[in-house]
Amino acid sequence: MGKIRLDKYLADMGLGTRTEVKKDIKKGRISVNEEIVKSPEYKIDTQTDIVLADGKEIAYEELVYYMLNKPQGVISATEDRREKTVLDLISDKKRKDLFPVGRLDKDTEGLLLITNDGELAHNLLAPKKHVDKKYFVRLKTALSEDNRKQLEEGVDIGEDKLTMPSQVFLLNKEKDEAEIIIREGKFHQIKRMFHAVGNEVIFLKRLSMGSLVLDENLLPGEYRLLTPEEIERLKENA
């Protein structure tokens, strides 16, 4: 990344606003390579310089990627005065510019990517990219074979065009649990698709997005950093 101002470095890493960190710098609470620096404009090499705040090292992270198993009752937003957001669940986040890639409804669980990589987010969400997204659904009533075929061919959800072809796999004898793979991301799309064939989704969970698959070890509300391999595959496939 090259060199950036010390106050920006500290603010990016969540130590406070630019105004707050400038005060900390001027109080002599920040050292760079074992020397106290009192100038907010001091240029930091993010690759080589060692920055400490009150003796604690502040490592610089430019792009960050978290996999979250979103629980029900939490909204997919960066901040909200009344509701708990998915960013509130990331307790050890350092950067202030994180955001969820796409949205899951408040009552929907499952995979959510949280990052500050705008380019990757755009590529994953751009309609023309048609990134596969797999969901688990539990339905109010059994899904008939005719309805399953309708969903796969495309249904009318009140848009200009029918939904793109999807894949639907029934998972049990009662035919009320299924996995569905879609290549779009319209508002409430899964629920609207099943509603279009006279059914109702009573539970919805996202299992994958592109090459990224929800870690089975993550309970609802838990998260982890993506592995380098997961990040690389996501970027390649997006």
Of residues 39 and 126, more confidence is placed in: 39
* pLDDT for position 1: 60
- Check if CATH label 3.30.70.580 holds for domain 65-126+212-237: yes
Q: Taking 70 as the threshold, does the pLDDT of residue 15 lie above it?
A: yes
All CATH 3.30.70.580 domain ranges of the chain, comma separated, are 65-126+212-237
Which of 24, 88, 105, 215 is flagged as catalytic? Answer: 105
Give the DSSP H/E element, type plus range, for residue 12: helix 6-12
- Tell me the β-bridge partners of 136: 179, 205
The answer to whether the CB of 155 falls within 8 A of the CB of 193 is: yes
Of residues 94 and 16, more confidence is placed in: 16
Q: Taking 90 as the threshold, does the pLDDT of residue 198 lie above it?
A: yes
What fold does the segment set 3-57 form as a domain? 3.10.290
All CATH 3.30.70.1560 domain ranges of the chain, comma separated, are 132-209
Side-chain-side CA neighbours of residue 183 (13 Å)? 14
CATH-assigned architecture of domain 132-209: 2-Layer Sandwich (3.30)
Q: Taking 90 as the threshold, does the pLDDT of residue 93 lie above it?
A: no
| pTM for the full predicted model | 0.83
All CATH 3.10.290.10 domain ranges of the chain, comma separated, are 3-57
Active-site residue flag, 49: no
Q: Considering only CA atoms, which of 229, 233, 232, 225 is closest in space to residue 61?
A: 225
